[in-house]
Amino acid sequence: MSDITCQVLVVGGGPGGYVAAIRAGQLGLDVVLVEGDRLGGTCLIRGCIPSKALIHVAGEFAAMRAAADGARFGLQLKAQPDIDFKKTIAWKEGVVDKLNGGVAALLKRAKVRVISGWATFTDAKSCIAKTKDGEEKIRAEHVILATGSLPVELPFMPFGGDVISSTEALSLPAIPKRLAVVGAGYIGLELGIAFRKLGSEVTIVEAENRILPLYDSELVAPVKKWLDRHGVTLHLGAKAKSARAGALQIEGADGKAAQVPADKILVTVGRRPNTEGWGLETMGLDMAGRFVKVDDRCRTAMRGVYAVGDLVGEPMLEHKAATQGEMVAEIIAGRDRRFDPVSIPAVCFTEPEIITAGLSPDEAKAKGEEVIVAAFPLAANGRALSMDAGEGFVRIVARKSDHLILGVQAVGAHASELSGEFSLALEMRAVLEDLAGTIHVHPTMSEAFHEAALRALGHAIHI
């Protein structure tokens, strides 16, 4: 066993951890990062990136099938297209490998020592990392915990066999003929829609009475419409009961038992912080429910120990973790930083895509704000129509008294790329007039944001 001492120990090589390590390295700190799996974390290895790769292939395939089913924009295929799913998965792995290698190179450039092994803390400032070459004892002045999260398992239907989590769903050997999805949150819907496009018969079971329960009904409506139009079966207000061979037992909204035929059952009922198996209990930290408790500087109850990302609370999103990781590195380097964003934007890569940034109309009203809400339909946006993406809208929520923009939401194909401007407007504390006075390129979908602002001011041009 060898001994390592360092200024900063980062545990977890996901977006929270590796960004913290790179930034700390840039700031001249002596950094060790321990990762038990591959660098990149859930996002890169088994989350955002591979799922987007799969969703992209599914979209291409669906377009080809549409061309085979009947001429669309004059495009026609004489026969149904084929898919070699093994090659699809291999291509996806290629994308993941490229990014994984990129992270390793960035860490190296920042002079971060990466230890591939499983870290177990023995006290708040020291851990033992089990590597393939033996054990390393690591002691650090500052510790950044970035252990991320894991898919939640249903106790009566544990993962294994045909019951799979999102991780397995991204590396299936073949496209399941019949796929049952338990949980209609964003992960279940993204994957359910992708597999529907790939040809699976998809059934979605959700305990609440609506899909995407965290989003307002106006935003969700176009997604619901797509599901209906593409023959996805929905069981709302229904509970998954047990997995049988080739079927999922459910209790319907009417209380009656029913069977959903399924070759694979994808359980996406949420994620839980990864708080077990690495010695958290030896560190003397305070908890906030399931999460590690931190303040607005991501400081835990133990001096010199920080925690970031999924481990410290919702929303469990890459960009939140990365922002916190970067901030903590700067705090350790002696700068005064706080995690106080105006918004943590979120995107559902469903069909069509949903974006939320800042307050929804209901949230704003609940905060006692008197608001103007204005939406601009993509059906009136030239670029959207030219891409056959006229379904959806951009909606803006502004304070009535001073026109401060409080929130922006959108739903529409390709709309996720608009999110950057939404966030910038919120973070810069823009008012409607700022947006109205900004020239937006024609023809782009971003004009819909401009027009929504004009409409909020009462003088939209194109509607």
Partner 1 sequence: MGRYVFKLPDIGEGTAEAELVAWHVAIGDSVEEDQPLFDVMTDKATVEVTSPVTGTIIELNGEPGQMASIGSSIVVLEVEGAGNERANGKAAHAEAAPKADAKPAPPPKAEPKPAPKPEPKAEPRGAASSARPPAFATRATPDAKPLASPAVRQRARDMGVELQFVAGSGPAGRIEHADLDAHVSQGRSARGSSSGVRYAQRDGVEEIKVIGLRRKIAEKMQEAKRRIPHFAYVEEVDVTELEALRQQLNMQKRADQPKLTLLPFIMRALCEVLPDYPQINATFDDEAGVVHRHAAVHIGIATQTANGLIVPVVKHAEARDLWDSAAEVARVAQATREGKAARDELSGATITITSLGPLGGVVTTPVINHPEVAIIGPNKIVERPVVRDGHIAVRKIMNLSSSFDHRVVDGYDAAEFIQRVKAMLEHPAILFMGGA
Catalytic residues: 442
**Number of other residues whose CB lies within 10 A of the CB of residue 128:** 17
- Residue with Cβ nearer partner 1 (70 or 368): 368
Binding of residue 299 to partner 1 (CB under 8 A): no
Residue number with CB closer to partner 1 (72 or 335): 335
Q: Identify which range of 69-77, 127-135, 226-234, 398-406 contacts partner 1 by CB under 8 A.
A: 398-406
Cα within 13 Å of Cα(275), Cβ side: 22
Indicate the residue among 379 and 404 with the shorter CB distance to partner 1.
404
| Token couple for 193 | 């829609």
Instruction: For the CB of residue 436, give the shortest distance to partner 1 in the complex, in Å.
Output: 12
**Beta carbon of residue 447, minimum distance to partner 1 (angstroms, whole number):** 22
Q: Are 138 and 33 in contact (CB under 8 A)?
A: no
- The only residue of 428, 441, 442, 461 in contact with partner 1, by rule CB under 8 A: 428
Smallest distance, Å, CB 402 to partner 1?
4
Q: Residue 64 contacts by C-beta under 8 Å, 6 or more apart in sequence?
A: 77, 81
Pair type for strands 163-164 and 271-273 = unpaired
Asked if 183 and 51 touch (Cβ cutoff 8 Å), the reply is no
CA-nearest of 104, 101, 132, 97 to 118 is: 132
Residue 368 binds partner 1, judged by CB under 8 A: yes
Nearest to 394 by CA among 409, 413, 372, 414: 409
Q: Does 82 bind partner 1 (CB under 8 A)?
A: no
Which residue type occupies 298?
C
Which of 399, 414, 440, 462 is in the footprint of partner 1 by CB under 8 A?
399
Q: Which of 427, 438, 460, 462 binds partner 1 (CB under 8 A)?
A: 427
Q: Which stretch binds partner 1 (CB under 8 A): 64-72, 147-155, 249-257, 430-438?
A: 430-438
Choice from 266, 431, 436, 452 touching partner 1 (CB under 8 A): 431
Count of residues interacting with partner 1 (CB under 8 A): 20
- 3-class DSSP state of 81: coil
Instruction: Provide the 3-class DSSP secondary structure of residue 370.
Output: coil
Interaction of residue 403 with partner 1, rule CB under 8 A: yes
Q: Under the criterion CB under 8 A, does residue 335 sit at the interface with partner 1?
A: yes
User: Which residue in the set 337, 365, 440, 462 belongs to the binding site for partner 1 (CB under 8 A)?
Assistant: 337
Binding-site member from 135, 276, 314, 433 for partner 1 (CB under 8 A): 433
95 CB contacts (<8 Å, ≥6 apart)?
Answer: 49, 50, 53
| 340 near partner 1, rule: CB under 8 A | yes
What residue type is assigned to position 223 of the chain?
V
| CA gap 355, 347 in Å, rounded | 4
Interacting residues with partner 1 (CB under 8 A): 335-338, 340, 342, 367-369, 399, 401-404, 427-429, 431, 433-434
